[in-house]
Amino acid sequence: MGKNNLIGEIPYEIGILSYLVALQLNGNMLQGNLPSGLQNCSRLHILDVGDNLLVGKIPLWLSHFFELMILVLRSNKLQGQIPNPLSNLSKLHVLDISHNNLTGPIPSDLGNLAIMLDPHPQVRSANASEHSYYYKEEIQVINKGSELTYYDSILLLITCIDLFENQLYDGIPLEIGNLQGLHTLNLSRNNLIGDIPITFGMLEQLESLDLSNNKLHGNIPNEMLKLSSMSTFIVYNNMLCGTIPTGGQFATFNLTFFSNNPSLCGFPLDNKTCKCGEKSNIDMAHLLDEEIEEESEIPWHWYVEWMASFATGFWGVFGILIVKRYWRRKYIQLLDEVAISFLDRLRGIK
């Protein structure tokens, strides 16, 4: 039922189809939440509801779909965090929850997705022949920077995690490096910070890695030179620094893959400033302007101290004159004497 003009909500009663193996509702205009009745369809191998208008959180009951191999929730309006229990999906080949409004950190438990721990594709190939009669439709997956379409049992030869364009933050978990059978990883257009994990050097089957449009810093790990299958490595629009690793697949990468990292240098870039910890001239000028602006401003507590001192001095003198009549007379007499003395001096000058 994908790519029709279906509107409204997915009916709760769909859960009656408890023997359903594949449900593809992608490319419609469906709204509302994933119905809780769907959790009765625990035999699902494919669930694709991408490119709709679905809202709410990713339901926890999805983690009970132990036969699930393809989960596509992309291009909806889902919110909340990525549930940790999704790591229980031991047969999951494709996890695509890109282009939503998901927040929070990337769960470290995603590094436990069992089928992606296996670095030997021939094992998955055997599974593909066993279940090939289920997969007669197509699934779109973002791979190597482009949307590719996979058909039939070829799907079971692909492993993919796509978290593109959400609002995820914090660092990339080191545990993602455990997924030695992972082919495609897309974490671009989020708010991720920190270093590229050194454990990425263990992703020996990785073909495509997109970390662009984040706030990553630090060096590109030299351990990634081991990734002989990686044909796409996109990190533009970050704050990476240091020298790009030399040799291996890095010798084949495009200039645009590394652009807009002011402190990153080495082939194929021409940047001169590349030492980590150094600020670019623009950054230094900006910091200097901020320091001058801060120094030119009078601290707020200075006003409080000045007013307190003034009030103490004023009432310390005039408070006594108001209360003590004797001192008040003496003060007026002193003022008179000063005034007369001043006038006498003026007459003497004349």
Whether residue 205 sits in one domain with residue 324: no
Q: What is the pLDDT of residue 349?
A: 58
The answer on pLDDT for 278 being more than 80 is no
Position 164 in a domain: yes
Whether residue 203 sits in one domain with residue 312: no
Whether residue 311 sits in one domain with residue 201: no
- Of 190, 218, 246, the one marking the end of a domain is 218
The answer on pLDDT for 93 being more than 70 is yes
Q: Determine how β-strand 94-96 pairs with β-strand 53-54.
A: unpaired
pLDDT digits (tens, 9 = 90+) for 14-69: 999 999 999 999 999 999 999 999 999 999 999 999 999 999 999 999 999 999 99
Q: What is the pLDDT of residue 276?
A: 82
Q: Which residues, including other chains, have CB under 8 Å from residue 254's CB and lie 6 or more apart?
A: 268
**Can you tell me the distance from the alpha carbon of 158 to that of 128, in angstroms, rounded to the nearest whole number?**
10
pLDDT digits (tens, 9 = 90+) for 224-244: 999 999 999 999 999 999 999
> What amino acid occupies position 9?
E
Q: What is the pLDDT of residue 288?
A: 44
Position 295 in a domain: no
Q: What is the pLDDT of residue 220?
A: 96
Q: What is the pLDDT of residue 126?
A: 39
- Report which of 255, 262, 202, 258 is spatially closest to residue 226, judged by C-alpha positions: 202
Whether residue 306 sits in one domain with residue 182: no
**Can you tell me the distance from the alpha carbon of 227 to that of 232, in angstroms, rounded to the nearest whole number?**
11
Q: What is the pLDDT of residue 142?
A: 58
List, as one string, the DSSP characters of 51-79.
Answer: SSEE-SBPPGGGGG-TT--EEE--SS--B
- Report which of 27, 76, 33, 36 is spatially closest to residue 53, judged by C-alpha positions: 76
Domain that holds residue 318: 302-349
- Of 218, 245, 280, the one marking the end of a domain is 218
Place of tokens 């669930």: 47
- Report which of 232, 248, 219 is spatially closest to residue 184, judged by C-alpha positions: 232
- Report which of 20, 78, 150, 168 is spatially closest to residue 176, judged by C-alpha positions: 168
Whether residue 317 sits in one domain with residue 170: no
pLDDT digits (tens, 9 = 90+) for 126-175: 344 444 444 445 566 655 555 655 555 556 678 999 999 999 999 999 99
Position 61 in a domain: yes
Domain containing 137 — which CATH number? 3.80.10.10
**Can you tell me the distance from the alpha carbon of 263 to that of 277, in angstroms, rounded to the nearest whole number?**
9
Position 197 in a domain: yes
Whether residue 126 sits in one domain with residue 13: yes
Q: Which residues, including other chains, have CB under 8 Å from residue 15's CB and lie 6 or more apart?
A: 35, 36, 37, 38, 39, 40, 41
Helix (H) / strand (E) containing 274: none
Lowest-confidence region among 52-66, 114-128, 177-191: 114-128
**Can you tell me the distance from the alpha carbon of 100 to that of 119, in angstroms, rounded to the nearest whole number?**
30
Q: Are 50 and 96 within 8 A, CB to CB?
A: yes
Whether residue 306 sits in one domain with residue 212: no
**Can you tell me the distance from the alpha carbon of 91 to that of 181, in angstroms, rounded to the nearest whole number?**
12
Q: What is the pLDDT of residue 153?
A: 54
Q: What is the pLDDT of residue 178?
A: 96
Whether residue 307 sits in one domain with residue 200: no
Supply φ then ψ for residue 295, to 5 degrees.
-70, -30
Q: What is the pLDDT of residue 275?
A: 78
Query: Based on the structure, what is the number of domains in the chain?
Result: 2
Position 334 in a domain: yes
Q: What is the pLDDT of residue 138?
A: 58
Q: CA separation (Å) from 66 to 37, 85, 151, 275, 316? A: 17, 11, 22, 47, 82
The answer on pLDDT for 254 being more than 70 is yes
pLDDT digits (tens, 9 = 90+) for 283-335: 444 444 444 444 444 555 555 566 666 656 555 556 665 666 666 676 677 77
The answer on pLDDT for 282 being more than 50 is no
Angle at 293 between CA 288 and CA 298, to 5 degrees: 140
Position 119 in a domain: yes
Whether residue 306 sits in one domain with residue 208: no
More confidently predicted of 167 and 345 = 167
Cis peptide before 268 (omega within 30 of 0): yes
Position 266 in a domain: no
Q: What is the pLDDT of residue 299?
A: 55
Whether residue 210 sits in one domain with residue 94: yes
Position 282 in a domain: no
DSSP code, position 349:
H
- Of 218, 238, 255, the one marking the end of a domain is 218
Q: Which residues, including other chains, have CB under 8 Å from residue 341's CB and lie 6 or more apart?
A: none
Whether residue 333 sits in one domain with residue 213: no
Work out the pLDDT band at 261, boundaries 50, 70, 90.
very high
Q: Determine how β-strand 138-143 pairs with β-strand 146-151.
A: antiparallel
Whether residue 308 sits in one domain with residue 197: no
Angle at 185 between CA 180 and CA 191, to 5 degrees: 130
